Amino acid sequence: MGGRYISEFSRIIVEMSVPNAAYSGMNVHHLELFYYVAKHGGISEAVRKMPYGIQQPAVSGQILQLEETLGLKLFQRRPFHLTPAGRELYGFVEPFFGRLGETGQRLRGETSQRLRLAAPATILREHFPNMLEQHRRKFPNLKLQLYDVNQAMAENLLQKQEIDLAFTEIEDKPPAGIKCAVLIKLPLVLLVPSNHKLTSVRQLWKETEPQETLISLPATEVISKLLRQGLDKLGVKWTPSVEISSLDLLSAYVSAGFGIGVSVIAPGSKPPPRVKVFPLPSFPPLVIAALWQDRLPPIADSFLQEAKRRAQEMQRVA
């Protein structure tokens, strides 16, 4: 365990849980150094065995400051032995500092098997179950936290360090500090009832305001925004008549003959039943990317590499 972790962890925990230290003005780092000196029987031996580097004069100076704060002698230097006050103080701090290494190992063990992922519901439902089942073979004690999010929500969770990794539709460039890897670009398509007379999307664009019923996700969704961008370039105004909350529902209503829907279909996936698919190659694609901060823990990095591999396979199929 690194010294920075010990010092910071001890500073926070002791200040919260040791009222005597907080109110007497004792410095928590001084208490930590005293613990090592008392445990190892002297300053020089403590310096050699401490889990982080610190010079002997610095330890001596800070122990003197602790004794000055208390107005008490804590130990005799030569030969080393604790004074009654030193024994009492050591008995007070030892239960905390003595278990710090064990606690750190336990915490690291738990976090090394924890994976916190965020993605839209479609990805969580259709792609993650199989991937996570395979991932669990590498990490048998896998502990999962899953969140249904869009890009803005994912970025917020990342910035608050509440998730490790997000997979989401990308609408805007992520803010500074968030890394982004594009995984796949999915072309927009029109879903048309199989018994519809439409044989080409060009038939729709002959009118500046098509009269066909358009089924779409809410206007705030990325797919809907991409549709509007493509229509604007064509000079076509096509307003949704039916708003649907998910792509699954959209496909179902197209199959039932309620109208024409805009969607995406992943490479290798079968189109919905009773539906014809018309690609929209001139429209901007839906971009799916991975987002994360800093260096990923091994369990999250392994999952990201597998996601990249699968995305490459899907692109080859396309």
pLDDT digits 0-9 by tens, 261-299: 999 988 777 888 999 999 999 999 999 999 999 889 899
Residues 6+ apart with CB under 8 A from 216: 223, 224, 227, 240, 242, 243, 244, 250, 261, 262
Task: Tell me the HSE value of 202 on the side-chain side, using a 13 A CA sphere.
Answer: 1
Residue 28 has pLDDT above 80, yes or no: yes
Supply the pLDDT for residue 317: 66
Please say whether the beta carbons of 258 and 306 come within 8 A: no
The pLDDT > 90 percentage for the chain reads 65
pTM for the full predicted model: 0.65
Provide the edge-to-edge strand list for the sheet that holds 275-279: 242-243, 214-216, 260-264, 188-193, 275-279
Please say whether the beta carbons of 250 and 263 come within 8 A: yes
Give SS3 for 211: coil
Q: What is the mean pLDDT of residues 110-135?
A: 90
Separation of CA 143 from chain center = 14
Secondary structure (DSSP) of 157-205: HHHTT--SEEEEE--SPPPTTEEEEEEEEE-EEEEEETT-S---THHHH
The DSSP element (H or E) to which 143 belongs, if any, is strand 143-148
Tokens of 127: 């792609």
pLDDT in tens, 145-175: 999 999 999 999 999 889 999 999 999 899 9
pLDDT in tens, 46-91: 898 887 788 999 999 999 999 999 999 999 988 999 999 999 999 9
Q: What is the mean pLDDT of residues 207-221?
A: 95
Please say whether the beta carbons of 1 and 51 come within 8 A: yes
The pLDDT > 70 percentage for the chain reads 88
Q: How far is CA 228 from CA 120, 173, 188, 203, 224, in A?
A: 21, 19, 12, 18, 6
Domains assigned to the chain: 3-107 (1.10.10.10), 113-185+287-317 (3.40.190.10), 188-284 (3.40.190.10)
